[in-house]
Amino acid sequence: MKIASEVAEAKSKNTPIVALESTIITHGMPYPQNLEVARTVEADIRAAGATPATIAIMDGTLHIGLEDAQLEALAQAQNVAKLSRADLAICMARGGTGATTVAATMIAAHLAGISVFATGGIGGVHKGAEHSFDISADLAELAQTPVTVVAAGAKAILDIPKTLEVLETYGVPVIAYGQDDFPAFWSRSSGLAAPLRLDSPADIAAAQVMRAKLGLPGGQLVANPIPQTDEIAAETLGPIIAQAQSEADAQGISGKAVTPFLLARIFELTDGQSLEANIALVRNNARLAAAIALEMSKSPAS
């Protein structure tokens, strides 16, 4: 494991750090937009008083934070593996390069002593999972790895009711920030009530600290709604998602290939609006994560 100089300095001073995943860079958007967004999100975290730590595997080494030249190299890299809990160690053992999903980023953040992680949306239960059993490893990771994950809810392409049911079964606190509804990625509301609600970064930080004191495993999911000016209404997205899913089914796309295909197709069908919303929500999540990390760093138990 190699810790970037900026992150190492923050750790030595016990100042707040926010982990960031890398699949949004390698699988989420094309170069050079992916690099611009990665730099912008890191800048948002710094402006909010925390240190960003973008996590990735490069040539078999787990990097906690990337120098700017490394960030640029990753943004231009081809055939980068998309890593979760199952294949993280194999990629490292073989000296490979890979981008971390939510689950893998949580594992790496915890190894590095980082308690807060900002992403876009978590994975979850895919539509048709009662037949395919396609359920993201992100959900099990939230149940066992003590990291607070700030996301704009679950990705809207998923079966959100089933995702919430699985999180409840695993005992994961699902906390809507500042509203009663559970957000649905590009939309502020999924039409479902969130199990829990908290209205301040201090309360969210205190909840994670208390989980540690109680010896409870796992983290917590903070569902942060996309800013109102950037959202795409759920009723607009519904038919578009259904069309994209139908095309994926017709082409026999499955496993890790499903989410990238659906997101790319939705980008096309919304004339790029979905990507603009995605960028807005990731930045919004990064700012909230920085505020939570700042509060958490004040606690001697954090």
Give the other-Cβ count within 10 Å of 180's Cβ: 10
Q: What is the dihedral of CA 44, 268, 77, 59, to 10 degrees?
A: 80
Q: Can you state the percent helix, strand and coil of the chain, rounding each to 5?
A: 50, 20, 35
* Residues in CB range of 70: below 8 A, 6 or more apart: 56, 58, 63
**How many helices, marked H, and strands, marked E, lie in the chain?**
13, 11
Tell me how many degrees the CA angle 80-84-87 measures, rounded to the nearest 5: 75
CA distances from 150 to 154, 226, 250 (A): 11, 12, 34
Report the run of H or E that residue 100 belongs to, with start and end: strand 98-100
Active-site entry in 21, 141, 231, 295: 21
Active-site entry in 127, 141, 155, 295: 155
Q: Is 21 a catalytic residue?
A: yes
Sign for the pseudo-dihedral over CA of 230, 232, 233, 234: negative
* Residues in CB range of 282: below 8 A, 6 or more apart: 24, 37, 41, 118, 119, 120
Measured between alpha carbons, how far is 291 from 264 in angstroms, rounded to an integer?
Answer: 31
Measured between alpha carbons, how far is 140 from 280 in angstroms, rounded to an integer?
Answer: 27
The half-sphere exposure of 92 on its side-chain side, counting CA atoms within 13 A, is 17
Contact 69, 6 (CB under 8 A): no
Q: Is 213 a catalytic residue?
A: no
Catalytic residues: 21, 155
